[in-house]
Structures are given as structure tokens and as C-alpha cells.
Amino acid sequence: MIDYFQLNQKLKSASVALSAAELHGFLSGLICGGLDDQSWQPLLYQFTNDNHAYPTDLLKEVTEIYTKINHTLSDIDGFNFELLLPDEEADIFAQADALCEWANHFLLGLGLVQTQLDHEKGEIGEAIDDLHDICQLGYDDQDDPEELAEALEEIIEYVRTIATLFYTHFRPFETAKPTIH
């Protein structure tokens, strides 16, 4: 997958006012919400770029990201879905901010596809509430960076699990057709 900072630069160069984390969260939310057709592109343009199409080169990369997200989420047993966030080399506070951005845009994408999220109960309802809390994640500049890094790692793992949960909950399962011999 493309590097977080490279994608940020490409978005900025294309005058798309979105971070790589926001873009990845939005696309992940659409997919986890059950969107399985090409309507993701008009939604992407409408909600991230004032209804303007992305430049061709950028759209090609975004399409590859969309495909990769879909592929990794569909491999439930592999659990290799990753959030696109700044790597461990980045400032821990920048990582925390990016996680909040990712969660916020994930909920946006999810809500566009699943318009009745506020009616969800049980495990799904709790996960939605948790994501809302993650969007409000706060820290103090005086916080111990090591403790924050540990907490952030746990939260990221939990968010990965939530994404997989939503994917399996909202995606229509394809029924296996019998093989005719």
C-alpha cells in the first residue's frame, strides 16, 4: 500500500482537503457498510472534494487502495486489514490525531451506506459508540509518549477488530452455488 505521507502529499497536490487517514477511513467505512458497486466514486467526490472528480493518477491510486481494503477485509481468517496511519517513526501525537481522523471518516462512510446506525443495538451499537468516543480521543502534551503509544496501539487493534465486525455484519454474504458435475 502507498505510504501515508506520500498519499498526503498527492492529496494536497490535487487540492483535495483530506488526509490519507481520512481518505482510508472513509473508503473503509463505505466497504464495511456493505457498498459493493461503483457508487463509491461519486460518494468519494461528493463528500471529500466538493463533487469534483479526482485527477486520473490520484484516482488510480485511490482505486488500488479501495481494492486493497476490500481484499484484506474479505480475508477474515487472515485478519490483515490495517489502518492507513503515520508509521511509528512519526510523532505519537500526530498518530493519535490521524486515528481520530480515520475513525471520524470511517463513521461518515459507514453512515452513508447504513443510514440507520443509530438503531443498532448490542455489539454493533456498542462498537459505534466506541468509535464516536475514539473520534473524541484526547491527550495532553504532557502525557507520557510511551504510555500514549501503548494505548494507541491497543486502540488501533480494537478499531481493526471493529472494522472486521462491521464488514461481516453489513456485507451481504454470497451464497455458494452447488457445483454441477
**CA 161/CA 53 separation, integer angstroms:** 32
Residue 55 lies in a domain: yes
Residue 49: which domain range? Answer: 4-170
69 pLDDT more than 50: yes
3-class SS shares of the chain: helix, strand, coil, % to 5: 65, 0, 35
Query: What are the pLDDT digits (tens) for 109-127?
Result: 999 999 988 888 999 999 9
**CA 144/CA 93 separation, integer angstroms:** 11
Residue 169 exposed, middle or buried by CB count within 10 Å (0-12, 13-18, 19+): middle
Residue 71 lies in a domain: yes
Q: What is the pLDDT of residue 177?
A: 45
Name every residue whose Cβ is closer than 8 Å to that of residue 65 and which is 6 or more positions away in sequence: 1, 2, 7, 23, 24, 27, 84
Residue 40 lies in a domain: yes
Contact criterion met (CB below 8 Å) for 14 and 94: no
Question: CA nearest 111: which of 55, 9, 43?
Answer: 43
Q: What's the average model confidence in pLDDT over 18-39?
A: 95
Residue 57 lies in a domain: yes
131 pLDDT more than 50: yes
Residue 130 lies in a domain: yes
**CA 36/CA 40 separation, integer angstroms:** 8
175 pLDDT more than 70: no
Contact criterion met (CB below 8 Å) for 10 and 27: no
Residue 178 lies in a domain: no
Question: CA nearest 79: which of 4, 151, 167?
Answer: 167
Amino acid 132 reads: H
Residue 90 lies in a domain: yes
The structural domain count of the chain equals 1
Q: How far apart are the first and last CA of the chain?
A: 40
Residue 175 lies in a domain: no
Q: How confident is the model at residue 89 (pLDDT cuts 50, 70, 90)?
A: confident
Residue 162 exposed, middle or buried by CB count within 10 Å (0-12, 13-18, 19+): buried
**CATH number of the domain that residue 71 is part of:** 1.20.120.740
